Amino acid sequence: MTIRALEKVSVGQNGIGAFILQCKRMDIHYCDHSGSSRGMNIFIRSMLQKFAASHPQIEFAVSPRPRKHPVMIGHYINGNQKSICVKNMEPTEILKKAELLRDASGEKIKRVNKSVKSINPSVRGIWSPYHGKGITV
Amino acid sequence: MKRVRLERLSSQLLAAPPARTISASRFASRAPRASTSSPRLRTTACLQIRCQSTTVSPDLIYEDEFIQEDPEEVDPRTLPLPSPPPSRAQYSAKLAALHARLSLSPRLPLETLARALIDPSADSNTKFNNTNLAYLGASLLQYHTSEFLVTRYPRLPLAITFAAMKGYAGPEVLQRVARAWGVEAAAAPGEEVDPGYLQFDPLRPTVEMKKGGYVRAESAEIARFKWRRGMSSRVTYDNAFGEMVPGQASVSNMHMAAVSNEHNEREKILRDAAQNAHANFVRAVVGAIYLHCGRENAKSFVKSHFLSRTLDLSNLFEFKVPTRELARLCAREDFEAPVARLESETGRMSRTPVFVVGIYSGKDKLGEGAGSSLDEARVIAAQNALKSWYLYSPGEVALPSDTFAEDAAPWKPVYIDIGEIIS
C-alpha cells in the first residue's frame, strides 16, 4: 500500500454539462398612483406575462409598494441580489432591465483583465528556461 | 463496482402511497393506542388516516363520540402535518421554478419533486419522505460514476478509485450540487411551509444513506484501536467510497426517538444534518428521474450534472516510495531498470538551485521532474512517471450501461489492467 489517496472535491462549471440560470427569483414592485410607476404598470399589464412564461426557471413575485418608485430585484443562486430602480422608464426600457437581471450571474462586477479564464491546464505547458536550446546572451 | 438490481429497488415506489398514519414521533405520545379488544379500535383506525390524503378507505367511519368521551385525546385532524401535503405542490412557484431550472421532463410531476425535498428528519413517514427515492438515486449515481471511472481510467489504484468516487458522488459534492441548483432550506419544516424549500430539521434523527457495504464483525475494534483494513476487503465490506460502514457501537444517538417503524435502530444517525439532507435531495431527484423518465434520461442527467464536473485525478495521488514502486513496475513489465539522469541544472551553489531530472528506461524517458535538490527532483520524476502509468486512459470507450438499450451495439470488452504494482 504505497499509494494513499487525498480527498478532493470535483469542481462544477456552469454550462459544461448542464446550464443552470443563475437568476432564481425576480421581485417586481409598483405603485398604483405615482407617475413614476406609469411605465411599470404598463409593463406588468402587457409584457410581464409573456416574459414570465418564457422564463419558467425564474420565480416572479409582483407586489405593490405604495408611494415608492418602482423597483425590480433579482435574487441569485449565490445568495446575492441585484436591484434596479425603474422610475419614469418606458415599458421597453423596463424589459431591457429585466433581461439584464435575468442574464446577470449575481457575482459582483469585476474588471476582467485576461481574455481567457480557465481551470484546465495549458496545452502548451509553461515555458521553461531549462528546456530547448537555451538563450545565448 | 457493486452490482445494482434496479428493478428490485424501484417497483415499490411506483405504487400509489396508501393512506398515511399519524406516525410522527412528535405525536407519538398524543396519538391514541390501538387495543385489540376495545371498542375504540374503529376510532383508532379512522384516526390513522391522513387527514388530507387523497386515498379514501371504504370503511372510513367517523365515530366522534369516542373522541368526545376522552378529553385527553386530541383530534389528529387539528394537528399540523409534519411536512407540506403533496396537493400543495401544484401551487408552489418555487417548486415549478426548480423543476424548470433543472430542465426536468414534464413526465416528472411536481409532487415527486416536492417529495424529494422532504428529509426523514422532517417527516418520518417513508411514504411521504425521500428515503426510498434517495436510495434508488444513490445506486444509480454510484453505478454510473464507477463505470465511468473504471472504463476511463483502467489502471487507477483502488484507493484512488475510491477517492475519485467520493470526489464525483460523495455527500460533500452532492451538497454543492444542491446549492448550485438554487435549493434553499426551510427555517423549520412544517405543513405551512412552501413545498419548494428543502425540509429538514437538524435536531431530529434522520436516515443517512448507506448504500452498499456491510457492517464488519470487527467494526468496533477498527474504530477504537485503528486496526488496519486492507484495500481489497473494502470492495466487499465497505461502501462505495471505501469507508467503513459504522457498526452498532459507533451509533451515538441511539436513545433518540424512532425515525420510522420500517427502519431498524442502526439507521438513526445524525452527523452533518444539512449536508445529509441536501445530498439525499440530489439523490432523490436522480431516483425520481429514473422512475418517471427512464434509464437513459437518468444516465444523461448523471453525466451532465456530476460526471461533467472537473476533478484532476493526478492531484489525488500521494506516494510513499515512488522510486521503489517504479523499479518494481519496470521489472514487472520487462522494461529496463529505471535510471535517473540529470538533464539540466542552475544555481547549484546558490540558495535557489533547480535541478531537472529525467528517469530513463533504456532509451525511453518515463518521466521528468524539477526540484531544488537532486533527490527531490528524482523523487518527483519518479512520481510523474508513475502517474503517467496509472492515469493511462483509452479515451472515450463504450460503457457497460450502453448495452442496456434494445438496439445496442454488441459489447466490446474494455481494457482491464492486471492491477497495482505494489498492493
ipTM of the complex: 0.92
Q: What is the mean pLDDT of residues B178-196?
A: 95
pLDDT tens digits along B106-165: 999 999 999 999 999 999 899 999 999 999 999 999 999 999 999 999 999 999 999 999
The verdict on a CB contact (< 8 Å) between B163 and A7 is yes
Q: How far is A87 from chain B (nearest CA, A)?
A: 27
Q: Does B298 share its domain with B174?
A: yes
What integer pLDDT is reported at residue B67 of this predicted model?
44
- Tell whether B273 and B393 lie within a shared domain: no
Q: Could you tell me if B273 and B357 lie in one domain?
A: no
For the ranges B25-34, B186-195, B307-316, B348-357, the lowest mean pLDDT is seen at B25-34
Question: Is residue B179 in some structural domain?
Answer: yes
Probe site for chain B from A3, A22, A77, A137 (most B CB atoms < 10 A) = A3
Residue B213 has pLDDT above 70, yes or no: yes
Q: What is the pLDDT of residue A111?
A: 93
Given B306, B334, B369, the domain boundary residue is B306
Query: To the nearest whole angstrom, how far is the Cα of B49 from the nearest Cα of chain A?
Result: 34
Segments forming the whole domain that contains residue A60? 24-103
Chain B partners of A17 at a C-beta cutoff of 8 Å?
303-305, 307-309
Taking only the tens place, the pLDDT of each residue in B413-422 is 999 888 888 7
CB contact under 8 A, B103 and A18: yes
Higher pLDDT, B67 or B273: B273
Taking the CA of residue B309 and the nearest CA in chain A, the distance in Å comes to 5
Q: Which of the four pLDDT bands, split at 50, 70 and 90, describes residue B406?
A: confident
Residue B370 domain flag: yes
On whether residue A123 sits in a domain, the answer given is: no
Same domain, B197 and B326: no
The range of the structural domain enclosing residue B353 comes to 322-397
Determine contact: B304 vs chain A, CB below 8 A: yes
Q: Same structural domain for residues B302 and B355?
A: no
Q: Please indicate, yes or no, if residue A58 is contained in any of the structural domains.
A: yes
In this prediction, residue B79 carries a pLDDT of: 85
* Total number of domains in chain A: 1
- 3-state SS string for chain B: CCCCCHHHHHCCCCCCCCCCCCCCHHHCCCCCCCCCCCCCHHHHHHHCCCCCCCCCCCCCCCCHHHHHHCCCCCCHHHCCCCCCCHHHHHHCHHHHHHHHHCCCCCCCCHHHHHHHCECCCCCCCCCCCCHHHHHHHHHHHHHHHHHHHHHHCCCCCHHHHHHHHHHHHCHHHHHHHHHHCCCCECCCCCCCCCCCCEECCCCCCEECCCCCCCCCCCHHHHHHHCCCCCHHHHHHHCCCCCCCCCCCCCCCCCCCCCCCCCCCHHHEECCCHHHHHHHHHHHHHHHHHHHHHCHHHHHHHHHHHHHCCECCHHHCEEECCHHHHHHHHHHHCCCCCEEEEEEEEECCCCCCCEEEEEEEECCEEEEEEEECCHHHHHHHHHHHHHHHHHCCCCCCCCCHHHHHCCCCCCCCCCCCCCCCCCC
The minimum CA-CA distance between A4 and chain B, rounded to whole Å, is 5
Looking at the fold, whether B94 and B177 belong to one and the same domain comes out as yes
Q: Would A134 be classed as within a structural domain?
A: no
> Per the CB < 8 Å rule, is B318 touching A4?
yes
What pLDDT shows up at residue B226?
87
pLDDT interval class at B36 (50, 70, 90): very low
Residues B157, B197, single domain; the answer is yes
Count of domains in chain B? 2
- Quick check: is B239 in a domain? no
Chain B residues with beta carbon closer than 8 angstroms to that of A5: 159-160, 162-163, 316-318
B308 at A interface, C-beta within 8 A: yes
Same domain, B273 and B389: no
- Average pLDDT on A98-113 reads 94
pLDDT (mean) for B406-414: 90
| Candidates B278, B310, B346, partner chain A, best to mutate (most A CBs within 10 A) | B310
> What local confidence, expressed as pLDDT, does residue B51 receive?
47
Residues B171 and B130 in one domain: yes
Min Cα–Cα distance to chain A from B259, Å:
31
Structural domain includes residue B17 = no
Q: Is A13 within 8 Å of B423 when comparing Cβ atoms?
A: no
Residue B122 maps to which CATH number? 1.10.1520.10
Q: Residue A50 is part of a domain; what is its CATH number?
A: 3.40.30.10
- Same domain as B376, residue B291: no
> Are B294 and B330 members of one domain?
no
Q: Are B96 and A120 inside 8 Å of each other by CB?
A: no
Weakest mean pLDDT among A28-42, B36-50, B84-98, B202-216: B36-50
Residue A28 lies in a domain: yes
Are residues B283 and B353 both part of a single domain?
A: no
